[in-house]
Amino acid sequence: MAPGLRIRALAVLVDPSSWSPPALRDEMEGWALELSERARSLSSRGIDVWTTRISLPGLPGDDPSMIERVASAAPDKVLISIGHTRRPEVLEAAARRGLYAYFPMADPEDAGPVAGAMYRVSSGNPEDATRMAVSAGGGLVHTPYFPASSARPGEKILAASILYPSDVDPSDFRGSIARAFRYVERAMPWAAIDYSMSPWMDESVAGLLERISGSALVGPGSMHAISEVNRAIRESAGPTAIGFNEIMLPVEEDSRMKEMARDGSIRVADLLRLSSVCVAGVDMAVVSAGLEVLRRLLLDARSVALSARKPLGVRLIPVDEPPGTQVQLGRFGRATVIGA
């Protein structure tokens, strides 16, 4: 195995036994300790864990007053998702408080209120908007990938996502994907795994797809390449697969896609087209869009999700600046605004 494979996220998806402040704090500290011990064990085998995470099943009663309780109980250096919410005001408040959340958007009438929440958060601080997402089509998602992650009521699942683009040989992507999966399964027999192929900057999924297809990401043959790699991922995934298990193309987390944003060769319309064969094709994109354009983009994403009969994670960061403008996204660095 090449040395690039790492655990991008080690998470516990869990339903607290109690939401009282002391009990919730104690449980979350216990889960954080368990994740830390698992991470140390993997590190002793030469496998780095980048982040540890706790994902909840949504707030009791979808009550916005619970957000501060969860934030106050959160252990240091552990990312927290409250899970899904059906209230745009909860989505907005969670993101502002440093928590992750997503909205399962099944009803087209929800597009306007959700677009409003996304726009207000991004207007205040674009980095805050990276912690909120929409599950277009309304499906609930159980995965270690944030923001579209929630636990199953009454259950506790240890789950992991893996970073492996550098382990994939473009000339033998099926075989190298299967070998990477078997390696991580042997190292983590206790974990459910989201086998999705996701990038982190120079560990570029877009660049790998271009080497496989022989064309630019949005050029002829790119959708076929995505479809074939997705098939390889599904066929090689183990029996404990959880979550999306497909290619992910978050614009501002992939150095090749960041380059395409800078040179203006990708728009949200291109991402929507790719999303017909890729579950997270509309992700981490800073888009020049007002409320009405954003609402329509969410409706388009919902239509794609319903047609494909699968959840579609959407994380758009709307700004008023024109395409080509640079904005600061905190830990993600400088991002380039793209057109709708």
Q: Are strands 6-14 and 49-55 parallel, antiparallel or unpaired?
A: parallel
Cα-trace Rg, the chain: 19
Residue 1's pLDDT is 44
Indicate if the pLDDT at residue 2 is higher than 50. Answer: no
Chain segment 270-311, per-residue pLDDT in tens: 999 988 876 656 899 999 999 999 999 999 999 999 888 888
Percent of the chain topping pLDDT 70? 98
User: Domain residue spans in the chain?
Assistant: 6-336
In angstroms, the CA 283 to CA 268 distance is: 9
Residue 123 phi, psi (nearest 5): -65, -35
Architecture of domain 6-336: Alpha-Beta Barrel (3.20)
Chain segment 321-335, per-residue pLDDT in tens: 999 999 999 888 999
Residue 19's pLDDT is 97
Indicate if the pLDDT at residue 6 is higher than 60. Answer: yes
In angstroms, the CA 280 to CA 135 distance is: 10
Neighbour tally for 264: CB within 10 Å: 12
Structure tokens at 152: 């199953």
Residue 5's pLDDT is 73
> Which residues have a Cβ under 8 Å from the Cβ of 297 and sit 6 or more positions away?
268, 272, 282, 287, 289, 316, 340
Handedness of CA 151, 297, 91, 274 (dihedral sign): positive
**Model-level pTM?**
0.95
Distances (CA, A) of 168 to 9, 33, 45, 235: 19, 33, 21, 15
HEC states along the chain?
Answer: CCCCCEEEEEEEEECCCCCCHHHHHHHHHHHHHHHHHHHHHHHCCCCCEEEEEEECCCCHHHCCCHHHHHHHHCCCCCEEEEEECCCHHHHHHHHHCCCEEEEEECCHHHHHHHHHHHHHHHHHCCCHHHHEEEEECCCCCCCCCCCCCCCCCCCEEEEEEEECHHHCCHHHHHHHHHHHHHHHHHHCCCCEEECCECCEECECHHHHHHHHHCCCCCCCCHHHHHHHHHHHHHHHCCCCECCCCCEEEEHHHEHHHHHHHHHCCCCHHHHHHHCCCCCEEEEEEEEECCHHHHHHHHHHHHHHHHHHCCCEEEEEEEECCCCCCEEECHHHCEEECECC
Chain segment 63-93, per-residue pLDDT in tens: 999 999 999 999 999 999 999 999 999 999 9
Chain segment 175-214, per-residue pLDDT in tens: 999 999 999 999 999 999 999 999 999 999 999 999 999 9
The mean pLDDT of 231-255, rounded to a whole number, is: 95
In angstroms, the CA 100 to CA 93 distance is: 10
Report the mean per-residue pLDDT for the chain: 94
Residue 280's pLDDT is 57
Handedness of CA 330, 288, 255, 184 (dihedral sign): positive
In angstroms, the CA 212 to CA 311 distance is: 26
Residue 276's pLDDT is 81
